[in-house]
Amino acid sequence: MDWGIKNRLSRIIRPDTGRTVMLAVDHGYFQGPTTGLESPRKTITPLIPYADCLMLTRGVLRTSVDASCDVPIVLRVSGGTSILKELSNEGITTSIEEAIRLNAAGMALSIFVGSEYERQTLLNLSRLVNMGERYGIPVLAVTAVGREMTRDARYLALACRIAAELGAHLVKTYYCEGFQEVVGGCPVPVVIAGGKKLPERDALQLAYDAVHAGAVGVDMGRNIFQSDSPVAMIRAVRSIVHEDATVDKAYDLYCKAKDKADKKAST
Ligand code: R5P
């Protein structure tokens, strides 16, 4: 692997733990002002100190993150559809030159295996990997799941393996029963999305199960920024990912940090 790609990957996945807590705040690119992300700067700023990297679009990066901030960026570079249309009909939205100008540590793009525009999204990924390889920028493939697909190990293993075969350097997918099969069949590191908001303890259990089944961490959004206490939640997720905390210990950390923040807010 090229030195530049390795170097950028080591900014995304912490070399000392081999794991990462990525904060996904790119939801607006197809669903508009998502709950909890209506004002991106307000949501993102307090979470930055606890995120190993941010996953977001160039629009939110430019408007809502200070350029002096040294958190690594994984730039969402696919899109072109909205929740009102066929979601799989994505293209590449952002040039490689723009990713370089924005000092991205990586680029992210969705693939929709089994959906109407499967071929187009897989060719998008291949093109992006070709460009990334040229300039030393790793590519994160997101295995988006169409409404008609089942999020089981068989399907997710298929999607993750295809992403890796086409050259993705890192894959983001969903946790499922039998997740070892998904990770085992994917020769590049895997991170999980959190999915829809769950009670905090359940989301921590999800992160725990994923890393214990071989994921290198999480690229979590709604389960952090829609939490009653987002900072407490990301700190609890970090304790699982980087410190191998148990779910009980992480949940305890969440409750204590939340109480402290609530008290501070009421004084
Ligand atoms: C999906 O295509 C986007 O990358 C989402 O923004 C991300 O996967 C969602 O993260 P979460 O499911 O944890 O909110």
Mean pLDDT of the chain: 96
Q: What is the pLDDT of residue 71?
A: 97
What tokens were used for 67?
A: 């350029």
Q: What is the pLDDT of residue 148?
A: 77
- The domains of the chain, with CATH numbers, are 3-228 (3.20.20.70)
Q: How far is the CA of 193 from the centre of ligand 1 (A)?
A: 6
- pLDDT, one tens digit per residue, over 2-32 is 999 999 999 999 999 999 999 999 999 999 9
Give the C-alpha separation, 32 to 83, whole Å. 9
Q: Which residues participate in catalysis according to the annotation?
A: 172
Index of the ligand 1 atom closest to the CA of residue 29: 6
Query: Which of 23, 26, 93 for a ligand 1 pocket mutation test, highest count of atoms within 8 Å of Cβ?
Result: 26
State what percent of residues in the chain have pLDDT above 90: 94
Query: Which of 20, 21, 27 for a ligand 1 pocket mutation test, highest count of atoms within 8 Å of Cβ?
Result: 27
Index of the ligand 1 atom closest to the CA of residue 108: 4
- pLDDT, one tens digit per residue, over 126-180 is 999 999 999 999 999 999 987 777 889 999 999 999 999 999 999 999 999 999 9
User: Which residue's alpha carbon is at the smallest distance from atom 3 of ligand 1?
Assistant: 27
The band of 109, judged by pLDDT with boundaries at 50, 70 and 90, is very high
* Closest CA relative to residue 11, chosen from 45, 51, 44, 47: 51
**Other beta carbons less than 10 A from residue 252's beta carbon:** 14
Q: Which residue has the tokens 């700067």?
A: 41
> Which whole number is the average pLDDT over 223-249?
98
For residues 210, 215, 221 and 223, what is the CA-based torsion angle, rounded to 10 degrees?
10
State what percent of residues in the chain have pLDDT above 70: 100
Pocket of ligand 1 (CB under 6 A): 24, 26-27, 110, 142, 144, 193-195, 220-223
Pairing verdict, β 20-24 and 217-220: parallel
Q: In three state form, how does the secondary structure of 197-229 look?
A: CCCHHHHHHHHHHHHHCCCCEEEECHHHHCCCC
